[in-house]
Structure 1
Amino acid sequence: MSSWFEERRADKAADAVQRREDREFESKLRRDERRKDRDEKRTDDAQRRRDRAARRQARAARREKTLTPGNVYRKGTLGLVALSALASLPAQILHFVAIHWSLSPIGPALEGAAWVMAAGVAYADERKLPVWVRWLLRILSLSAAGFAANINYQYGLSLVHHGLDLADAKTAGLGLAAVTLGGPLFFEVRQWVLTLSASVVDPKKRAEAKARDKHERRRRRVFKDVVARQEQLLLAAPFGTLKAEEAFARAWWDVKGAPLGVTADVIADRLDAEADVSAVLAYADQTPEKLAVEYLLADIFKGEGGASGTLSGKPSGGPRDGASEARTALGGKGKGPDSSTADTERLKPLAEADLEAVRKLASALGGTGRLSARNVREAIGCRNEYALRLRDAVRSEKKD
């Protein structure tokens, strides 16, 4: 019996624990839901604040863009133009209606002519039409506006018959004439300002266009023959198929016979400079050690060559033959020339026949400026040092 009561108490305790756990779980769920609702509300409030800030910023940007000096000037000018038209048109209509009712369209026709011609000036500026077209439209617009202004002035003076004194009638006439002329004039000044401001919108592009025009003028002045050939190529090719720069490069090759920027003088000077550098490097290769060996061998075998220290003939037999061959081999190997041969070339007088041959070569090439050590060496069959002396001698004759 006691066991049943114990089980009963255990069941009640377990139920109590379960109910407590259920209450705690439900309480946690409610807290989580309230926390989630607060987080969502906080997120929604933050989003609404961001949206309001974005709308305020957008309105401020629109106001800033709308209230810029350029927009105020453009829209303000159009407002003045509209007010001037509203002020001047009724007086013209009443003036012609007073004459006869059938003349009522004349007033709107005059005002419309002035405004249509003024709009034509703006259209001509947009399409970059010739200047004379713009000035013709301006003259027509101002003529129509001037005729309408005269009519309005006469109408203002006629108000004397409607109870106004003469001074007030003159003031009314002048005011009507001013607004009649002021509308087209304001519109014309507006168009001038817009045209001038459009030309200075991008100073970099304008500077680039100016530099490009200057480059084109200098090219035409310096390379007239190449530009003439370029124009021939552009005219010969179908329209738009050949670019101007490509045509200029092809024209350069046709006229100068070389890639763009290269001429015969440039090639001759380059070859001349390369030959000079080669000659200098060839003689610069004679190091002191090589010269010491040459002088030592010459001193050893000076008996065979006389007092000068150079070999006058080939020694015969014995070890001298081997020494002579060694000397010859040392003089012939390597990048540098033999010192005795170089000294001979350096001291050799210029032969008149060689000079005459170089003169003929210069004449065939088109001037001494095209002479180079290389072509002189090939024509005469000599060493670089002697070719350089021949070239310089012929060039100095031309300068003298």
Structure 2
Amino acid sequence: MSGLGEFRAERREDRRAERADARADRREEHEQRRLDAEAARQRREADERAAEQAKERRRAARAVRLGRVTGWVAANPARAFVRLVQACSIVPAVVSQVAALDHAKVAVLLAVLLAAMLEGGAWALVALGAQAEGERSTHTYRLGAWAAGTVAAGINFAHGWTQYPHYHWVAFVLALSSIGAVWLTDLQTHGGRGPTTAEKKQAKERAEHARQRAEHHPKVREVADRLLSAAAYGALSTDAAWRIAWEYVHGVTTPGLTAELLAQRLNARARVAELSTLPAPADLWPGMPDDPFPALTLPLPSGPSDGVYLDTVPDGLRNASPITTEALEALYRTGSYAPAPDAGAPGSESSDGPVGNASATAGERPLDPADIGRVRVLADDLAARGEELSTKKVRDALGCRNDYAVRLRRQVVTERNDPPATT
């Protein structure tokens, strides 16, 4: 009995182990099915994402292509509409010509070839003319294109006139289908390449300027022509040749300036300066006593000072002629300058002292010692900055007349050049 009990116990243990193994197998199988389902779901989602990405890429590519087309149309509207007219005119033009040749009992294949020859010849000549634009003459290509287009238009017109006897306007439309696109393409290809109205006007003004310059300055023109012919082609421009020639003939590099013109200007300013200090006529003051204002003088007209004159004189002319600040000051002297009286002579001193009267002549304003002191300070400031004392700077600093500023400057410059001897 003990052996049977042991057998039964072992049998129960085996069954219990089998059931545990079966449960483990079922759990493992269930887990495997779950993993397979999860992998399948992930594969489906990945496929869907890949398909969506591929669709997005195709959509983006279409948008890029459409953007290129629309962008090109927006940037080139004239060219885009010409291309549209070309496409819409070539097809009906060729069909009409084939129909016209077929109506004339020409074989269909021959009619197609002849129609293609006429229309294709016109467009080939248009393309050749566009390629030759800017390099060689395009007249031959353009005339050939118009001739081929006119022949094709005549065939379409004749066909439309006989084919539509009650609607003759159709003949004009068919003829226009052959010649209209050629006309638009010719305008687009060869139009707008010539000079504009502004460029034509500028070229006309330039030619007129060259004519006047050559007419007014024949000597300079002759030298400039010789310089241009002697130099290598393109090495010397016309304007540069004229500048060099002007310096050769007139001695200055400033175009238009000559020694005679400068002398005329300086003489005119000298006359104005001389007239500006004449006593005022008595009839300017009716009813007043004779000579009410003995020192009255006409105001000096405002104008360029000696520094400005010297600035307008080129270095070459300034070095070649005695045009200096002192010479210009002499031109600005008013009236006849008599030698200044000696400091020790009777009547040479006034209430302003000997300094204030040393540079004054009869009828002139004596030099104020205070003004002389201000000019000395101004001269020191200018010397510290490396600048020279000029009449204009004196006049601007004191607000005085030009002749008074000239005498003040001369006084200070004389003091600086000839300092008093020390005892």
TM-score past 0.5 threshold? no
Q: Which structure has more RCO (C-alpha within 8 Å, separation ≥ 6)?
A: 1
* Greater fraction helix: 1
